[in-house]
């Protein structure tokens, strides 16, 4: 439903064009979320909490990242921060207007703050994060932001795949801790 609203103004010419546009748009969204999920798998394979993100501008991925907090011994090395830094380097600008970010899991407060400061336009995420999520779960920093900035938030994209990778990681970690 959110997707339909987002393209309504762009394709007002006819029902078929309108539906085709939704399908193409949704196909693109899945493509980028799969790229984010690939990043999450890289994190998983390195023993990191499996979260991945990509930043997209004009149909091109300009920044990729996955959680590297353990490897870098850095609590700020989240997928979103790494992908935003890469994207900013790529466009040589601290602002990412007209960019979208795709994240496998709902961002935390730090990453939601970084997304706001980066001026990213659209935020897509997969699974909700009830403990730390700052986009509707624990907080709603993006939609109720103090900067009066409009960022479109679309949640639940490939929710099952994104969430199950995270669950698998924590189940395995608990089992290892008990051994």
Select 99 or 108, whichever has its Cβ closest to Zn ion: 108
Using a 10 angstrom Cβ sphere, with 0-12 exposed, 13-18 middle and 19 or more buried, the burial of residue 176 is exposed
CB of 37 to Zn ion, least distance (A): 17
Task: Kindly report the number of other CB atoms within 10 A of residue 10's CB atom.
Answer: 11
Residues in the chain: 179
Residues that bind Zn ion (CB under 5 A): 78, 108, 110-111
**What residues act catalytically?**
80
CB of 59 to Zn ion, least distance (A): 26
CA-nearest of 24, 73, 36 to 166 is: 36
CB of 80 to Zn ion, least distance (A): 5
Select 83 or 100, whichever has its Cβ closest to Zn ion: 83
The token duo for 96 is 């990412």
Select 6 or 69, whichever has its Cβ closest to Zn ion: 69
């Amino acid at each position: 439903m959110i997707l339909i609203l987002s393209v309504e103004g762009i394709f007002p010419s006819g029902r078929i064009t309108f539906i085709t546009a939704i399908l193409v748009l949704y196909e693109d969204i899945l493509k980028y979320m799969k790229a984010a999920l690939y990043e999450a798998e890289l994190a998983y394979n390195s023993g990191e909490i499996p979260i991945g993100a990509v930043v997209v501008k004009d149909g091109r991925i300009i920044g990729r990242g996955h959680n590297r907090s353990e490897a870098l011994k850095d609590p700020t090395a989240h997928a979103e921060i790494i992908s935003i830094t890469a994207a900013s380097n790529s466009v040589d600008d601290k602002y990412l207007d007209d960019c979208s970010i795709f994240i496998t899991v709902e961002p935390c407060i730090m990453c939601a703050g970084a997304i706001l400061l980066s001026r990213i336009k659209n935020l897509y995420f997969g699974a909700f994060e009830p403990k730390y999520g700052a986009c509707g779960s624990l907080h709603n920093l993006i939609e109720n932001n103090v900067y009066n900035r409009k960022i479109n938030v679309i949640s639940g994209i490939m929710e099952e795949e994104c969430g199950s990778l995270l669950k698998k990681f924590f189940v395995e970690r608990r089992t290892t801790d008990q051994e």
